[in-house]
Amino acid sequence: MALANAQPHESRLYYEFSHLYDLLFRHVFYPRIATVIRSLAIEPGARVLELGVGTGLSLDAYPRHCHVTGIDLAPDMLERAQDKVNRNGWRHVALEQGDALNLRFDDDSFDYVMAFHVVSVVPDPHRMMVEARRVCRPGGVITIINHFRSANPTLARLMRAIDPLTRWLGWTTLRLGDVVDRTALHVERQWKTGQRSLFTIVVARNAKAVPAARRLRPSRQVEAAAVPD
């Protein structure tokens, strides 16, 4: 495959080195992911979707009082994630093969949608975010951790220049504005864990409107209660 035409999700590294994923990335990515998940104070009974769950690196950070669904396209990654679920007896976690660009879930199925280091490896990040907002309920939380193109013009040009190589290795470098549509997401927090960190954390509320039928339901209940026997 020519470097110029390579897509991040087609990287051989992504599919063929799943056995090295935990070894390489647990110390780099996990502490940040775990800190972010715990900072959300996920409430009991909450429905959580993690896009690109991979080998399940993040799973032990979720509280057991929520319900976690993890999806990924790579069977080898999911097999390793399922091994973790089985070994730990995590009954609150369900895993399945799925495409983040075409989610099988109904609208408003989740209270939280997580995208940890995944927007850079899907072929259409905009489509992924549209799907994330669709399946997340109005006012639900969408959380992203990713590296983004530097605001420094010199560094941004360098990132663009090496983009064909990074695509071959398995990722591309996007601008934050390419991923986070602030008309569709109300950003509550955006930060980096350190001055030298390459990664940005975004916690946002889904700004889509509550369906009309749902808005009318409480008033109908009030009207019904007001009718005398």
Name 95's bridge partners: 70
Classify residue 209 as exposed, middle or buried by CB count within 10 Å of its CB (0-12, 13-18, 19+): exposed
What the block records as the tokens of 110 is 């989740």
pLDDT at residue 215 in the model: 60
- Residue-range domain boundaries for the chain: 3-226
Q: Name all contacts of 163-169 with Cβ < 8 Å and 24+ positions apart.
A: 164/3, 164/4, 164/6, 165/3, 166/8, 167/3, 167/6, 167/7, 167/8, 167/11, 168/1, 168/3, 168/6, 168/11, 169/11, 169/13
What's the predicted TM-score (pTM) here? Answer: 0.81
Low-confidence residues in the chain, pLDDT < 50: 1-11, 161-162, 164-171, 218-229
pLDDT at residue 174 in the model: 77
pLDDT at residue 187 in the model: 97
pLDDT at residue 160 in the model: 59
pLDDT at residue 157 in the model: 56
What does pLDDT average to over the chain?
81
Rounded Cα distance between 174 and 206, Å, is: 21
Backbone φ and ψ for 6, nearest 5 degrees, come out as -70, 140
pLDDT at residue 189 in the model: 96
What the block records as the tokens of 209 is 């409107």
Tokens 């602030």 -> residue: 182
Tokens 């399946």 -> residue: 135
pLDDT at residue 101 in the model: 96
pLDDT at residue 103 in the model: 98
pLDDT at residue 20 in the model: 65
Task: Kindly report the CATH number that applies to the domain delimited by 3-226.
Answer: 3.40.50.150
Selection from 179, 215, 168 nearest residue 4 by Cα? 168
